[in-house]
Amino acid sequence: MTPLIEVENLTVQFKTDEGLITTVENVSFTLMKGEVLGLVGESGSGKSVTAKALMNLNAGNTVYSPESKITLHTDNGPVDVLSLKTPKELNVVRGGAISMIFQEPMASFAPAISIGKQMVEQLLLHSDMNKAEAKALSIEMLDRVGIKDAAKRFDQYAFELSGGMRQRAMIAMALSTKPSLLIADEPTTALDVTIQAQVIDLMKDLVAEFGMAILFITHDLGVIAQTADRVSVMYLGRILESGPVRDVIGKPAHAYTRGLINALPKLDDLDAPLTPIQGDIPSPLERPSGCVFHTRNPELKPGSRYEREVPPLTEVSPGHFAALFPEDVL
């Protein structure tokens, strides 16, 4: 497989009144063509900031460290995403090679412009189609994602669609420009389980059909298990564990991943106690030194190395890495 996008040493800080806040620290990963990579983490873990960095979409107060590098491989050669400045340059990634769908589809569609008009508008921007072609393709895409009466829906507004249908329309719109990477930021979180199941099915079909890569961001490990090939687990801006989804969920190497799994209520074992991860997520202003998780890790003894030194990502099994010192890898 060929790499589609390479993220190296990504460190993102925000300038705020209280000083520089680090939200993503030294994150590296590679996404292959046609691969689904899950990015799991709780609120404040930096997963959305990472995703937005791929499109250079973070706000004006964002500071990327000089070592941060994001390379997108396109048909016209590699693009250094973080060095893009003008809107014209940025169009290559924003909506061109990369599309993004968001958590709340009602907030992502303009309320006073019909769904169809919004779909056509972005096609005119990102392709050399004329209006009639763009309309035909939009209707075809709506039909493909399972919206009945696509031609009628094309002229409707976001409020006239149900939640699941809105998210489908969002997906249709994101895919109509044929991106090589789709970023899905909590696409099913606001949906009911039955609708979520339909959206997961749809996204799987679309990967098979269009062969694009997906960066799937969610806090829900169950959704990841059902969709992703590989998964990276983030906490306070760092990747603590990453690897093939079966290995990470089946044999988690890092205490944080184990903690997340133990905290989940499981339907097949109703007697299992729910074990919360002790303590609270520290404020971003008080980032722990060493391993960011050491303040909540019940497996560490006081005075351990993890309190002072940042553990490297060490290979646990082929392709499966965890932020542990080599002596702790069994």
Residues that bind other proteins (rule: CB under 8 A) add up to a total of 38
161 near other proteins, rule: CB under 8 A: no
260 near other proteins, rule: CB under 8 A: yes
280 near other proteins, rule: CB under 8 A: yes
265 near other proteins, rule: CB under 8 A: yes
Give me the helices (H) in the chain, please: 47-54, 87-90, 105-108, 115-126, 131-144, 150-154, 163-176, 193-210, 221-227, 245-250, 255-263
Handedness of CA 283, 275, 260, 308 (dihedral sign): positive
> Which stretch in 143-151, 179-187, 191-199, 310-318 sits in contact with other proteins by CB under 8 A?
191-199
How far apart are the C-alpha atoms of 129 and 117, rounded to whole Å? 14
How far apart are the C-alpha atoms of 244 and 37, rounded to whole Å? 9
42 near other proteins, rule: CB under 8 A: yes
43 near other proteins, rule: CB under 8 A: yes
CB of 322 to other proteins, least distance (A): 18
146 near other proteins, rule: CB under 8 A: no
Give burial (CB, 10 Å; 0-12/13-18/19+) of 224: buried
How far apart are the C-alpha atoms of 246 and 254, rounded to whole Å? 15
Q: Mention every residue, 6+ apart, whose C-beta is less than 8 A from residue 278.
A: 296, 298
264 near other proteins, rule: CB under 8 A: yes
Q: Which CB atom, from 298 or from 312, has the smaller least distance to other proteins? A: 298
Give me the helices (H) in 244-322, please: 245-250, 255-263
> Which stretch in 58-66, 101-109, 118-126, 244-252 sits in contact with other proteins by CB under 8 A?
244-252
How far apart are the C-alpha atoms of 160 and 114, rounded to whole Å? 10
Angle at 8 between CA 200 and CA 86, to 5 degrees: 85
276 near other proteins, rule: CB under 8 A: yes
213 near other proteins, rule: CB under 8 A: no
Q: Which CB atom, from 72 or from 161, has the smaller least distance to other proteins? A: 161
149 HSE (CA, 13 A, CB side):
6
How far apart are the C-alpha atoms of 60 and 52, rounded to whole Å? 13
Among 131, 152, 246, 308, binds other proteins (CB under 8 A): 246
The C-alpha torsion from 155 through 160 and 162 to 164, rounded to 10°, is: 30
CB of 171 to other proteins, least distance (A): 17
> Which stretch in 46-54, 65-73, 213-221, 308-316 sits in contact with other proteins by CB under 8 A?
213-221
208 near other proteins, rule: CB under 8 A: no
> Which stretch in 122-130, 132-140, 268-276, 321-329 sits in contact with other proteins by CB under 8 A?
268-276
β-bridge pairing 36-41 and 230-235: parallel
CB of 66 to other proteins, least distance (A): 32
78 near other proteins, rule: CB under 8 A: no
Q: Which residues bind other proteins (CB under 8 A)?
A: 42-43, 163, 192-194, 196-198, 200-201, 219-223, 225-226, 245-246, 249-250, 259-261, 263-267, 270, 274-277, 280-281, 283
